[in-house]
Amino acid sequence: MDILALLQPIKDCVGKTTLHQLSRIITAMLAMTGRVTMLGISRWTDEGGSYRTIQRFYTTVIPWAQMFWQLFQERLMQKGQVYILAGDECVVSKAGKNTYGLDYFFAGLQQKVIPSLSFFVLSLVSVEQHHSYPLSVEQTIRSAEEKAASQAKKAVKKVKAAEPKRKRGRPKGSKNKAKGEVVLNPELVRIQAMLKALLLLIRPLLQPVYLVLDGHFGNYPAFLMVQQCCLHLISKLRHDAALCFPFSGEYKGSGPHPKYGERVDYQHIPESYLQSTAVEKGIQTCTYQAQLLHPDFPSPLNVVILVKTNLTTYAWAHVILFSSDLSLSADQMVTYYSLRFQLEFNFRDAKQFWGLEDFMNVEKTAVTNAANLSLFMVNVVQLLMSEFRQTDPVFSVLDLKAYYRGCKYGTELIKMLPQKPDPIFIAQLFRKIAFLGSIHGRKPTPSRALLAKVLLKVIGLNMISNLNLWQEIPNGSLSPKKARSCMALNQP
């Protein structure tokens, strides 16, 4: 597929120069090996893609949000399918001291705080296709006040840990305190601004109902933040969440009406709340659903509890999912929350293949462009692979890179020949080398139109003397016997 033609939906977002630069960069990233840096990209670009040109692109202010949306709207969106919003943080380790936004963030893979950059990503996830399409990327920049508040909070925890433990229970003489108005912290304010901007961009065409966030946002301030954006939150509570059943006893006639009933015992949940039971590889999974109360939330929550038990050792564990939508079924809630992990696959591909972990830029604009470009490539690659997966469902990113690298090698090889060979030989050459180094044994055959574009680019239109000959080639393939006869017909 021609990259410049693929990028036509975003032509109104950027200038012609930036669009041509982006097409050359994407072509180089698809074919290149090694670290994806500006210098590495410039070594794989064709004419017009010098290192200075790559630098100009990275220092250009680009409206990435509009580009993400236009590409998704024109090329990737399937009408009639259900899409949900998902958000997650991506932490990228960085050395040095001069990179814009460098701070100490918690890295989930290393399970510790490291010097790194943090990006929060909002994505649309297709429920039917199980694919995530990033649409909004914003770097986390913590203010000095936010850092000071975090340090003060850590200091208070250290002081409390040093103090002797008090007795269990409520201190004598303590009184109830009225809960103050909930104030969103700076992190939630940033995410809410991102969310509102994205919804303003996509809502004329799409109206998602749910936002899925991980357990870090399983609290009332995040719940309130999402409700203010007219969405339903799906997230996870702590394993020891203080959930209670609604009070179902008789009113004794004095005092306020009781609100909270018995505390939920996660090992002995009543059978009336059981929705399904499944056993796989000796692990029994029981799914419970109920409308439960939490002291921090003013309204009931739609809660799904997954209890897993090892039938051999009888060890057990549980997960608590919740949503503000009381009508959402247990199966749908589990499915939607599990789809959040598709964002992790986006982060993996962006780091492994498209330079999210490799870029060495330090200025604000260049860092923003590097991070957005790596996640923009995730959407572009999904579009490119859709053509190949029609014939090979297991076609992967490594296979795609091997294909473009093989085409690059073939093009450069033909340019070096003193006399350009016959078009049939070139077609056979590209068919052979296009998948050198690919992973899967079943090699999809390049389409006839795709090989025709490569031939016209390499040898020129005037080299194809017999156009009817190309029409007889099914899907770009040709048997050796027919190739020899056709080559004989083309000889002067």
Residues 99-118 have pLDDT tens digits of 999 999 999 888 899 999 99
Residue with tokens 């959040």: 340
Q: What pLDDT does 2 receive?
A: 82
Check if the beta carbon of residue 81 is closer than 8 Å to that of residue 147.
Answer: no
Check if the beta carbon of residue 87 is closer than 8 Å to that of residue 123.
Answer: yes
Q: What pLDDT does 459 receive?
A: 46
Q: Is the pLDDT of residue 148 over 50?
A: yes
Write the CB contacts of 151 (distance below 8 Å, at least 6 apart in sequence).
Answer: none
Q: What pLDDT does 178 receive?
A: 66
Amino acid at the residue 282: G
Phi-psi sector, 395: left (phi>0), alpha (psi -120 to 50), beta: beta
Please state which of the ranges 139-148, 362-371, 391-400, 469-478 shows the lowest mean pLDDT. Answer: 469-478
Residues 191-225 have pLDDT tens digits of 999 999 999 999 889 999 999 999 999 999 999 99
Q: What pLDDT does 476 receive?
A: 42
Check if the beta carbon of residue 215 is closer than 8 Å to that of residue 235.
Answer: yes
Residue 189: how many CB atoms within 10 A of its CB? Answer: 12
Q: What pLDDT does 319 receive?
A: 96
> What is the chain's mean pLDDT, rounded?
85
Query: What's the half-sphere exposure (Cβ side, CA atoms, 13 Å) at 120?
Result: 17
Q: What pLDDT does 110 receive?
A: 85
Check if the beta carbon of residue 209 is closer than 8 Å to that of residue 232.
Answer: yes
E-only strand ranges, 8-147: 83-93, 103-107, 112-126, 131-139
Residues 356-402 have pLDDT tens digits of 999 999 999 999 999 999 999 999 999 999 888 888 888 899 989 98
Separation between Cα atoms, residue 332 and residue 343, nearest integer Å? 18
Q: What are the DSSP calls for 348-408, one per residue?
A: HHHHHTSSTTT----SHHHHHHHHHHHHHHHHHHHHHHHHHTTT-TT--HHHHHHHHHHHH
Q: What pLDDT does 48 receive?
A: 83
Residues 401-430 have pLDDT tens digits of 988 888 888 888 888 888 777 777 777 777
Longest C-alpha distance within the chain, in Å? 108
DSSP 73: I
Question: pLDDT confidence of 135, banded at 50, 70, 90?
Answer: very high
Q: What pLDDT does 158 receive?
A: 78
**Which of 335 and 430 is assigned the larger pLDDT?**
335
Separation between Cα atoms, residue 480 and residue 323, nearest integer Å? 62
Q: What pLDDT does 182 receive?
A: 83
How much is the average pLDDT of 10-31?
A: 94
Q: Is the pLDDT of residue 477 over 70?
A: no
Check if the beta carbon of residue 358 is closer than 8 Å to that of residue 92.
Answer: no
Q: What pLDDT does 453 receive?
A: 54
Check if the beta carbon of residue 135 is closer than 8 Å to that of residue 68.
Answer: yes
Residues 237-292 have pLDDT tens digits of 999 999 999 988 777 777 777 888 899 999 999 999 999 999 998 999 999 999 99
Separation between Cα atoms, residue 470 and residue 474, nearest integer Å? 9
Residues 433-466 have pLDDT tens digits of 777 777 774 454 545 455 555 555 544 433 433 3
Check if the beta carbon of residue 49 is closer than 8 Å to that of residue 426.
Answer: no
Residue 445: how many CB atoms within 10 A of its CB? Answer: 17
Question: Residue 336 is inside which H or E element, if any?
Answer: helix 330-339
Q: Is the pLDDT of residue 328 over 80?
A: yes
Check if the beta carbon of residue 259 is closer than 8 Å to that of residue 295.
Answer: no
Write the CB contacts of 33 (distance below 8 Å, at least 6 apart in sequence).
Answer: 405
Q: Is the pLDDT of residue 77 over 60?
A: yes
Token pair listed for 91: 């932490």
Q: What are the DSSP calls for 406-428, one per residue?
A: HHHHHHHHHHHSSS---HHHHHH
